A = this chain, B = another copy of it.
Amino acid sequence: MNLYLLRHGIAVAGDEPGIESDGERPLTAKGIKRMRKAAKGLRRLGIVFDAILTSPLVRARQTAEIVAEVLSLESQLQEISGLAPESSVENLLFGLARFQNREHLLLVGHQPLLGDTAAFLLHGKDRPRLDIALKKGGICGIEIDSLPPGKPGTLQWLLAPKQLRLLATRAAKP
């Protein structure tokens, strides 16, 4: 099966007026615009996600909603607490157990949890440091044998947000 780890888009700062907690921070106007374009790029990859799972925080939830809308997969969207920033890799994998019969799971969340999860999936329990650039709006695809994984998975691809947006736009005439 395949897990896809998508980091939320650009959100407003925590000290903006009206923002009372980190969990309430929404995407900025630019963040929404860029995420929408990135989602169109993601659509070109042709992956049919069985489920879109998101952290309950507003910036992640909004990111997941944009992707679900662009891919016409609104009915697949659900929040899981295992993707919240205060969660852990073990907690997240525990929460994913009920999705183990799915083929393509999209997870929308935060750093460093997503990067730690990628390192765990690629390395197993040893988990040496692995520095993957998962920028805001960036995504990677990891193939694993089962959930929880029995052996280290394979990093299939890692797309920077700019590359996702490029996929959505027309190439200039050669």
Closest residue on chain B to residue A153 by CB atoms: B131
Contact yes or no, A154 B133, CB < 8 A: yes
Known A-B contacts A129-B152, A158-B158, A160-B157; the reply to A169 vs B171 at CB < 8 A is yes
Binary interface encoding of chain A residues 22-54 relative to chain B, with 1 for a CB under 8 A from any of its CBs, else 0: 000000000000000000100011000000000
Does A166 contact B45, Cβ atoms closer than 8 Å?
yes
Q: B residues within 8 A CB of A129?
A: 123, 152
For A172, the closest partner residue in chain B by CB is B44
Query: Are A166 and B44 within 8 A (Cβ)?
Result: yes
- Indicate if A13 sits at the interface (CB-CB under 8 A): no
Q: In the complex the two chains form, what is the Cα distance from A132 to B156 in whole Å?
A: 6
Given A123-B128, A167-B167, A157-B158 contact (CB < 8 Å) = yes
What residue in chain B is nearest A160 (Cβ atoms)?
Answer: B157
The answer, among B143, B154, B158, B168, for a CB contact under 8 Å with A171, is B168
Residues A94-136 near B (CB distance < 8 A): 122-123, 126, 128-133
Q: Which residue from B126, B131, B143, B159 sits with its C-beta under 8 Å from A159?
A: B159
Cross-chain contact B160 with A156 (CB below 8 angstroms): yes
Interface flag for A91 (CB, 8 Å): no
- A153–B129 CA distance with the chains assembled, in angstroms: 10
Please, could you name 15 A-B residue pairs with CB atoms under 8 Å apart, sorted by A?
A40-B174, A44-B171, A122-B130, A126-B128, A130-B155, A132-B154, A133-B143, A140-B158, A156-B158, A157-B159, A157-B163, A163-B167, A167-B167, A170-B170, A170-B171
